[in-house]
């Protein structure tokens, strides 16, 4: 690895995205560096033992737990969820299996559940009202979702319009993973957190990994955020970790770079004693295509042709968290990038390090899209406002015969790459937007078109 070239690349990204602190680490002592600070105000450095949130990288751990319980003969991924959650009644739920939840193919649309599950901690830092100002469809009078019963009651009460029959369409769902957490608890007879800690963290020696924010100590990073509504948006210290015990299974692990490299051994060493090789194969199989050339397994994304090798990865993002975890089994490489602000370029930072290790330019794209010339009819077919109840509202409009999007009040130019496909640059990475059947596929979610303009 050309460390000087990589670190020039990394530091320019970190500066451009105002990232207070980050750690990038590759296994076998190939590379490890802390950038910036875990506590900017006191200039405390980032190390491999600094505790960060990992967000949705937690989902792979939830799926490992399900596969362990399948190995023990206590459940099957092809069981319907009503086998374990008989009180679930929302529309379409009778045909959903554990496999559908694990692959985000249950047909559950993006919902606002996560905000209500986080409501208590969001009210403490003022961010619940802030999300309403940003346009997220939230009811200030709605009770917080604090328990599994609260969660199930909420899902049963609201109007859920499935996006498709189970098994047919991919749309990322935190709610589906929350339900998997309840199933793990009921089948194992242990709390979800205790099960994960006893059956994944402890056997792997992940001594600094946990769920409960009460366990945070002086090795934990401070959290930072940017107020996009401010006249001059600036990075600010933002104390208080969001917590949603009813949805821990979707993304609430706190961990360190050192621990996450240990977690990577599961993927390199045939399950490393916590999964059978057959279960590891199930975990990392290409169950459904999510974008051209990208597939979802169980809690992981698979790129079968990342510069000629297989890349298994997942990211995570929530308040004070942008994280990326990657494994290249054929190269014996595990990598992790953890940061302390949402919207940081964690994916680009980690891919840059991995590519540098492979003697590939750090900014080279593994999936290239060719330019495409949109016709007037093509442009008219995709303009409109697309919305999800998870809080995403994206306005797609035409200006000077080009397509732009408005996201969180920011105008972002697009690059057309197909008759109904464009890309945008965000967080240091090129993201694909696909328009199909009055829906926008973006951020692995399906957003519905609200109007035509």
* Same domain? 419 vs 296: no
Q: What is the per-residue pLDDT for 451? A: 63
Stretch 89-96: mean pLDDT: 95
Q: Is residue 393 part of a domain?
A: yes
Kindly calculate the radius of gyration of the chain based on its CA atoms and give it in whole angstroms: 21
Q: Is residue 369 part of a domain?
A: no
**Same domain, yes or no: 396 and 313:** no
CB 221 within 8 A of CB 46: yes
Domain count within the chain: 2
136 shares its domain with 95: yes
**Are 342 and 402 in the same domain?**
no
Measure CA 338 to chain center.
Answer: 13
| Cα distance between residue 152 and residue 97, in whole Å | 16
Supply the DSSP string of 245-300, one letter for each residue. Answer: GGGHHHH--EE-HHHHHHHHHHHHTTTBTTB-HHHHHHHTS--EEEETTEEE-SS-
pTM: 0.96
pLDDT at 355 over 50: yes
How far apart, in whole angstroms, are the C-alpha atoms of residue 74 and residue 98? Answer: 13
Domain assignment present for residue 56? The answer is yes
What is the model's pLDDT at position 450?
A: 87
Same domain, 434 and 349: no
Does 453 score more than 50 pLDDT?
no
Share of the chain above pLDDT 70, in %: 99
| Alpha helices (runs of H) in 158-227, residue ranges in sequence order | 174-188, 192-196, 202-204
The last residue of one of the domains, among 328, 357, 386, is 357
Cα 62 to Cα 91: distance, rounded to the nearest angstrom: 24
What's the whole-number mean pLDDT along residues 222-237? 86
What pLDDT digit, counting tens, does each position of 392-448 carry? Answer: 889 999 998 899 999 878 899 999 999 999 999 988 899 999 999 899 999 999 999
Confidence of residue 231 (pLDDT cuts 50, 70, 90): confident
d(C-alpha 169, C-alpha 163), whole Å: 8
Average pLDDT of the segment spanning 325-335: 98
pLDDT at 452 over 50: no
The span from the CA of 180 to the CA of 108, in Å, is: 14
Q: What is the CATH number of the domain that holds 161?
A: 3.40.710.10
Residue 270 lies in a domain: yes
Q: Residue 24 falls within a domain, yes or no? A: no
Domain shared by 318 and 189, yes or no: yes
338 and 380 both lie in a single domain: no
Give the integer Cα–Cα distance in Å for 263 and 419.
41
* Lowest model confidence (mean pLDDT) among 222-231, 248-257, 294-303, 347-356: 222-231
Place of tokens 């919902």: 111
8 A C-beta contact, residue 65 and residue 184? yes
- Bridge partners of residue 188, in order along the sequence: none
Taking the C-alpha atoms of residue 93 and residue 115, their distance in angstroms, rounded to an integer, is: 22
Checking if the pLDDT of 82 tops 50, the result is: yes
DSSP summary character for residue 94: G
Instruction: Give the C-alpha separation, 166 to 108, whole Å.
Output: 9
Model confidence pLDDT, tens digit, residues 361-372: 999 999 999 999
The distance in angstroms from the start CA to the end CA of the chain is 50
Rounded to the nearest integer, the mean pLDDT of the chain is 95
134/408 Cα distance (integer angstroms): 7
Residues contacting residue 242 through CB under 8 Å, at least 6 positions apart: 118, 121, 122, 127, 318, 319, 320
Domain enclosing residue 422, as ranges: 376-451
pLDDT tens per residue across span 148-194? 999 999 999 999 999 999 999 999 999 999 999 999 999 999 999 99
Domain shared by 66 and 104, yes or no:
yes
pLDDT tens readout for residues 110-147: 999 999 999 999 999 988 988 888 778 889 999 999 99
Do 211 and 322 have their domain in common?
yes
In this prediction, residue 133 carries a pLDDT of 82
Name the CA dihedral angle for 61, 63, 65, 68, rounded to a multiple of 10 degrees.
-130
Residue 245 lies in a domain: yes
Q: Given pLDDT bands bounded at 50, 70 and 90, which one contains residue 391? A: confident
Pair (350, 406) in one structural domain: no
Q: Which pLDDT belongs to residue 193?
A: 98
d(CA 24, CA 35): 8
Residue 349: closest CA among 108, 8, 2: 8
Q: Evaluate whether residue 47 is within a structural domain.
A: no
- What average pLDDT score do residues 47-74 get? 98
Clarify whether residues 258 and 406 are in a common domain.
Answer: no
Do 272 and 148 share a structural domain?
yes
């Amino acid at each position: 690895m050309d460390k000087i070239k990589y670190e020039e690349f990394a530091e320019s990204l970190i500066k451009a995205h105002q990232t207070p602190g980050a750690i990038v680490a590759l296994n076998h002592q190939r590379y490890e560096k802390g950038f910036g600070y875990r506590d900017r105000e006191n200039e405390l450095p980032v190390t491999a033992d600094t505790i960060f949130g990992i967000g949705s990288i937690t989902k792979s751990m939830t799926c490992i737990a399900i596969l362990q319980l399948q190995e023990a003969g206590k459940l099957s991924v092809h069981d319907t969820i009503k086998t374990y959650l008989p009180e679930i009644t929302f529309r379409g739920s009778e045909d959903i299996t554990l496999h559908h939840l694990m692959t985000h193919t249950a047909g559950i649309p993006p919902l606002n559940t996560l905000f209500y599950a986080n409501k208590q901690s969001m009210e403490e830092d003022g961010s619940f009202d802030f999300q309403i100002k940003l346009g997220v469809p939230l009811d200030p009078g709605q009770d917080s979702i604090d328990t599994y019963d609260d969660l199930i009651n909420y899902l049963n009460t609201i109007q859920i319009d499935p996006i498709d029959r189970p098994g047919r369409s991919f749309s990322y769902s935190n709610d589906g993973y929350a339900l998997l957490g309840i199933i793990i608890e009921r089948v194992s007879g242990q709390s979800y957190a205790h099960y994960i800690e006893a059956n994944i963290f402890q056997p792997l020696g992940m001594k600094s990994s946990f769920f409960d924010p009460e366990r945070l100590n002086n090795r934990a990073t401070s959290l930072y955020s940017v107020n996009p509504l401010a006249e001059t948006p600036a990075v600010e210290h933002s104390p208080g970790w969001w917590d949603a015990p009813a949805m821990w299974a979707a993304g609430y692990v706190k961990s360190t770079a050192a621990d996450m490299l240990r977690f990577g051994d599961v993927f390199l060493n045939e399950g490393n004693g916590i999964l059978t090789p057959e279960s590891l194969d199930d975990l990392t199989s290409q169950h459904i295509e999510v974008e051209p050339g990208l597939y979802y397994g169980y809690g992981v994304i698979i790129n079968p042709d990342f510069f000629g090798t297989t890349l298994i990865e997942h990211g995570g993002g929530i308040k004070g968290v942008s994280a990326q975890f990657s494994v290249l089994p054929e190269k014996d490489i595990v990598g992790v990038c953890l940061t302390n602000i949402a919207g940081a370029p964690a994916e680009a930072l980690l891919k840059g390090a991995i590519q540098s290790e492979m003697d590939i330019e750090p900014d080279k794209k593994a999936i290239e899209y060719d330019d495409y010339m949109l016709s007037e009819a093509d442009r008219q077919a995709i303009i409109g406002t697309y919305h999800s109840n998870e809080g995403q509202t994206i306005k797609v409009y035409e200006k000077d015969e080009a397509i732009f999007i408005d996201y969180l009040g920011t105008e972002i130019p697009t690059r057309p790459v197909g008759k109904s496909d464009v890309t945008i640059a965000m967080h240091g990475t090129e993201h694909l937007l696909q328009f199909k059947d009055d829906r926008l596929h973006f951020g692995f979610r399906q957003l519905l078109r609200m109007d035509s303009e």
